[in-house]
Amino acid sequence: MSGVGDWLLQGPAWVQYRTRVDLLAQPEDRQGVLAARQAMLGDAQVRGLLAELATWPGSALKRHNDAGHALHKLVFVADLGLRAGDPGMGAIVERVLEHQSPEGPFQVLMNIAQHYGGSGQDEQVWALCDVPLILYALVRLGLQDDARVQAAAQHLAALLRDNGWPCAVSPKLGKFRGPGRKDDPCPYATLVMLQALAQLPAWRDSATCRTGAEALLGLWQQRKERKPYLFAMGTDFAKLKVPLVWYDVLHVLDVLTHFAWLRSDARLHEMAGIVRFKADAEGRFTPESIWTAWKGWEFGQKREPSRWLTLIARRALARLE
């Protein structure tokens, strides 16, 4: 870590903070960690995200991989390490909590076109390829013990089938589902459900998570034969890209390495090998694809190594080591 660690600590405050906590295992009360976190809260780009999130739910979500949508920006600030008590976050969290469905999951303002089975109107609904991310963000922000958050986790976890999580939606959306066979698991819904439940100690070692993880690893084994709901594991899947918005090798690796009982799994190590091979001689990683909505950030380019991408990749790989 010496060379690449020094390089990471020369980056933006939010990279410095997460490097100290995640890679160097420094305690939150150490002076360097406190200073990096304070600088992160004052960072202009981070403040800009909070200003956008203050208008939650923002514009209607029209495609699930809209990386510039408020949903994915909420996840990103939670990943940075912001907390519900930080300046500006309290009001955002309250706005998110206001939109809890009668079933339990928190809702997103969504617009599904009529030719896809929706109403074509903006409405507060939920789909299993979106709302686990709200659950994840709320837990990361420090609300894991909130009864409303626990109710959302219980309802979403209970939707599991024996082959993973399906394409499931709010009753408001009727029989809508994605482009796949109804008996197939949705790889992305399964991924983001595991992402959320991995943050909850009561669920992390559960049979529920073990079933979901096996579903993803089984799809990796069968990647040449199966593409449920059009989620393939080919060339695009292998490209390194942040933030972790969609279904790709780094997102899957980042989620599955949270489960200690998977860390000797040969299939997971195979994915890790793909990521590890992409490092340069100094152990840094360069984005191979970008989300244009984030082009102003240091990872929003493909010309040079990204500190944030390097942090995410090395953190996941370190869990296996």
User: Average pLDDT in the 215-225 region?
Assistant: 96
- List, in sequence order, every beta strand (DSSP E) within the chain: 108-110, 123-125
Tell me, what's the pLDDT at 114? Answer: 76
Q: How far apart are CA 261 and CA 264, in angstroms?
A: 7
Percent of the chain whose pLDDT exceeds 70: 99
User: Average pLDDT in the 276-301 region?
Assistant: 97
Tell me, what's the pLDDT at 1? Answer: 63
Q: Which residue has the tokens 């998570």?
A: 209
Q: How far apart are CA 63 and CA 79, in angstroms?
A: 22
Tell me, what's the pLDDT at 218? Answer: 97
Residue-wise pLDDT tens digits, 137-176: 999 999 999 999 999 999 999 999 999 999 999 988 887 7
Over the chain, what is the mean pLDDT?
Answer: 95
Q: What is the pTM of this model?
A: 0.96
pLDDT of 307 strictly over 80: yes
Query: Residue 117 — very low, low, confident or very high, per pLDDT cuts 50/70/90?
Result: low
pLDDT of 113 strictly over 80: no
Tell me, what's the pLDDT at 176? Answer: 79
For the chain, the distance separating the N- and C-terminal CA atoms, rounded to the nearest angstrom, is 13
Q: How far apart are CA 301 and CA 241, in angstroms?
A: 10
Q: Which residue has the tokens 């082959």?
A: 163
Tell me, what's the pLDDT at 139? Answer: 98
Between 15-24, 107-116, 211-220, 280-289, the lowest mean confidence (pLDDT) is in: 107-116
User: Average pLDDT in the 276-284 region?
Assistant: 97
Tell me, what's the pLDDT at 28? Answer: 97
Tell me, what's the pLDDT at 39? Answer: 98
Give just the sign of the alpha carbon dihedral 39, 42, 46, 50.
Answer: positive
Residue-wise pLDDT tens digits, 64-84: 999 999 999 999 999 999 999
Tell me, what's the pLDDT at 173? Answer: 83
Tokens at 281, concatenated: 């001689």
pLDDT of 294 strictly over 80: yes
User: Average pLDDT in the 42-50 region?
Assistant: 98
* Full DSSP string of 252-286: HHHHHTT-GGGTT-HHHHHHHHHHHTT--TTS---
Tokens at 220, concatenated: 């990796």
